[in-house]
Amino acid sequence: MNFDERVYQVALTMLPGIGPVSAKRLISYCGSAENVFLEKKKQLLKIPHIGEAIASTLKNKEVLKRAEAEVKFAEKNEIQLLFYTDAAYPNRLKQCYDSPAILFFQGNSPLDSKHIVSIVGTRKMTKYGEGLIEKLIADFASKEILIVSGLAYGVDICAHRTALDYGLKTVGVLAHGLDAMYPASHKSIAKKMISQGGLLTDFPSGTKPEPENFPMRNRIVAGLCDATIVIESGESGGSMITAEFANNYNRDVFAFPGRVGDTYSAGCHKLIKKNKAALVESAADILFYLGWDEISSKEKTAKQAELLLPLNPNEEIVVSALRDHGNVYIDEICASSGYAMGKVSAILLTLEFSGVVKSLPGKFYRLQ
């Protein structure tokens, strides 16, 4: 039976014992998800860290039928399947060693928006935390900053709802499949988010919100963003796990302090005391730390874009790729422009000298 490559990609992530690291290793040796399933067992056993159990699992063809049903479900519900080799897979997340091999996304927000922050915290948010979120997002309102959280009770849902109210796009990362919503009471907010951001998960439909899924969800919340902002948190819990992931991924972490002795300020204070988060009191502090304090409103951004002109046609094509995608790998600029690597490198160098483009670690580029 012949299947589309998408089916093989989904199937690879459904097999027991094959996590994202193993899946990527198999792809790197075999060249494609289809080749992984078609490869002879004796050849699979030659791949480092691929033992008898995994090699035998790959010969189970029943998973392909389940994966085919998942692809059909995605097509019916306008869900994007983002495999880690796809250009549309979020670049920030791709940098994380344990990033999911596949993502399921329902929405309209670019997951490579130029500026992305996650806002996390306790499910038992106080009025103090609610006020912090309101002020923070109000101050972000004139900026093109994508707000990410986990759609849980408390801080998460408050961040999503407030972002929607202020016209900012917001993405919720789920610990279950896109065929359901947990908690169910957040279904109406989630529906609005699909048209003003989106819903993201690495779990196929039918996956229930089991406890072990939430830490896996939290790694995406951390890895998808430039920075994680902790509003209120106890000394343990999901927001502290997210902050730990963000630190491990070399992302910025910020925490708002509270009153000494308050249960839901203890986590923020712990992060600050251990130098795992910077103490912040406002959106201005965060923008300053991130070097985003010069981010302008949408109208000013448009005017600045005009100042980049005049560019020659080749430069305009490269700048257009950067404008559309934010932080971009040089390979993606080559793919978008159709130009050879050498030509793109020369154009980028010229634009960098002119102050139009900034070079980032890992061969990333973005507009100044």
Question: Is residue 202 in some structural domain?
Answer: yes
> What is the per-residue pLDDT across 344-354, written as a single tens digit (0 to 9) for each?
888 888 888 88
Q: What is the pLDDT of residue 348?
A: 87
Residues 6+ apart with CB under 8 A from 147: 117, 118, 119, 137, 140, 159, 160, 163, 168, 169, 170, 171, 197
- 285 and 261 in one domain? yes
State residue 305's pLDDT score: 47
Q: How many CA atoms lie within 13 A of 139 on its CB side?
A: 15
The enclosing domain of 31 has a CATH number of: 1.10.150.20
CB atoms within 10 A of CB 307: 7
Residue 32 covered by a domain: yes
Tokens linked to 13: 């992530």
Instruction: Say if CB 20 and CB 100 are below 8 A apart.
Output: yes
Following DSSP, what letter does each residue of 97-150 receive, concatenated? TT--SEEEEEESS-TT-SEEEEEE--SS--HHHHHHHHHHHHHHTTS-EEEEE-
Q: What is the pLDDT of residues 230-242, one digit of tens each?
A: 999 999 999 999 9
User: CA-CA distances (angstroms) from residue 138 to 135, 160, 230, 231, 292?
Assistant: 5, 13, 17, 15, 16
| 147 φ/ψ angles, rounded to the nearest 5 degrees | -100, 125
Q: Is residue 85 part of a domain?
A: no
Residue from 190, 191, 193, 215 nearest 202 by CA = 215
Confirm whether 80 is domain-assigned. no
Last residue of a domain, one of 261, 290, 319: 290
245 plus 135 within the same structural domain: yes
Specify the range with the lowest mean pLDDT, choosing from 28-42, 109-123, 236-250, 311-325: 311-325
- 141 and 242 in a single domain? The answer is yes
Tokens of 149: 């959280």
Q: What is the pLDDT of residue 325?
A: 66
Range(s) of the domain holding residue 46:
1-75
* Angle of CA points 350, 328, 162, to nearest 5°: 125
Greater model confidence, 170 or 361: 170
- For residues 310 and 266, membership in a common domain is answered with no
Q: Which of helix, strand or coil describes residue 255?
A: strand
| 87 found inside a domain | no
Which among 353, 352, 315 has a CA at the least distance from the CA of 337? 315
What's the rounded mean pLDDT across residues 213-233?
96
How many structural domains are present in the chain?
3
Provide the pLDDT for residue 300.
46
Do 228 and 312 share a structural domain?
A: no
pLDDT value at 17 more than 90 = no
Q: Residue 326 — left, alpha, or beta (φ > 0 → left; ψ -120 to 50 → alpha)?
A: left
Q: In this structure, is residue 207 part of a structural domain?
A: yes
